[in-house]
Amino acid sequence: MMHHEDQSVSIQAEQSVLGGLIVNNEAIDRCVDLEARHFYRQDHQIIFAEIQRQIAAGKRVDAVTIFEKLGDSVEDCFRYCVQMQSSAVSAVNIGRHAAIVRDKADKRALAAIAIEAQELAASHNDAAFCVDLVAGKLQALTERKTLMEPRLIGDTMVDYLTMIENRLAGLHKPIPTGYTHFDELMGGGLERGTLTVVAGRPGMGKTAFGLGIARNVAIDGMSSAMLSMEMSAAQVNDRNMAAIGKIPLGWLRSPKDTPNDATYWTSLSYAANKAQSLKMWIDEQAGMNMIELRAKVRKIKRKSGLDLLVIDQLSFIQGGDGDQEWQRIGQYTRAIIEVAKSLDIAVVLLAQLNRKCEERTNKRPIMSDLAQSGSIEQDASNIVFLYRDIVYNDNTPEPELAEIISMKQRQGVPGKIGMRYNGTHTVFEDLPYRWSPKPAEAESTPNKQRRGFN
């Protein structure tokens, strides 16, 4: 048996894990954080993967069953497995040995990242790009599977009833968005620790909707943050002043003599004064990566507390380690949910839909329009689409109507509400009546004949 050791390899620990698993198959439960790639020797990787496969298939694993499958690919397989089994004797210390194997694997990975960092530093890439890439790899290295012990439902009752009491006392209520009908649709508002995706084609008002929620939450006395990777702080403030002071956005962009000039200046003074008291944070950094995003949000939480985070928008976040877009998006959404849970905040993520809906007769979005929607669909607690018919149809009967389409709700029933989009002030407003879609609009099959949407 090979016993050469250095600080990044422990062949002995690898052999102890494999031998312990052959002695006691049930000990696999104590190796949850271990994968085949963590083993240094290739034959150990192959043997561990085969043991995992056979145990997962419900088979009893021993030196013979391993040899039957790996006799051709692992040299002297049967004798080696018997040798590891006899030297392990029992699986008592398998958890400690598995931790050593994982620790050594992490050290080897760290050394590889250090070499890659040196190569990147010598490349022509920007320093910011290099740092982000290395930081992403280091972040992945720190991630661990956490194994929670199953609990009897009776044992969870004390925690559950405490939560009910807190709800009764108003301590565990959702965060209201300030849009009455939308809050009803969302079961009272946005839950802390969750991700809500608001998606739409360009021109549908995603930013106005997200900014409106952030503003309403701050006006309600809570704290909100808007990470605006599309607009500058000045543009965000244009919209805030227009909404709070009921001032036309066009006038704010080029103040000029108009009959209402004096009124607008008075309104601007009122709006600016009100905005100064709001706990609403704006960050206009373009091309932000997840490491920076995390750091910024944690800083806000420390300084003033934070209830709601709005990110505008998904496609502007940089970094990620996957080869394909859906892998990178999956990394973003999981990282954002981790931020939501660890900081106990609600997160609203604005995202752009692909062009597929514009090829259909009825251009209302459906779930598959959410670009690379697999990971978003899985990770988000709520998915909401915005649709304004006026964007496609000049002669639409209700030009100011905006449809808010809930496609997925983890805690409720998906549905559809109507709101008014006020273009002068670029704000969404509650309708004075309860709107419901006409039967033709409610149909979801794109090929059916529709009235009024040609």
- Radius of gyration, CA atoms only, the chain: 28
Please write the tens of the pLDDT for every residue from 102-119.
999 999 999 999 999 999
Q: Is the pLDDT of residue 222 over 90?
A: yes
Which two structure tokens, joined as six digits, stand for 372?
Answer: 């690379």
Residue 12 has pLDDT above 90, yes or no: yes
> pLDDT value at position 377?
76
170-184 confidence digits (pLDDT tens): 766 789 999 999 998
Q: Are 15 and 101 in contact (CB under 8 A)?
A: no
**Would you give the end-to-end CA distance of the chain in angstroms?**
76
Mean pLDDT value across residues 318-347: 73
pLDDT band at 309 (very low <50, low <70, confident <90, very high): very high
Give the distance from CA 139 to its chain's centroid: 16
- Give residue 324's pLDDT: 54
Average pLDDT (45-65) is: 92
The catalytic residues are 230
Q: Which residue has the tokens 């018997």?
A: 82
pLDDT at 380 over 60: yes
Other beta carbons less than 10 A from residue 347's beta carbon: 26
Q: Examine residue 318 and say whether the peptide bond preceding it is cis (omega within 30 degrees of 0).
A: no
Instruction: Supply the pLDDT for residue 19.
Output: 95
**Which range, of 29-33, 120-124, 237-241, 340-344, averages the lowest pLDDT?**
29-33
Structural domains for the chain: 5-105 (1.10.860.10), 173-442 (3.40.50.300)
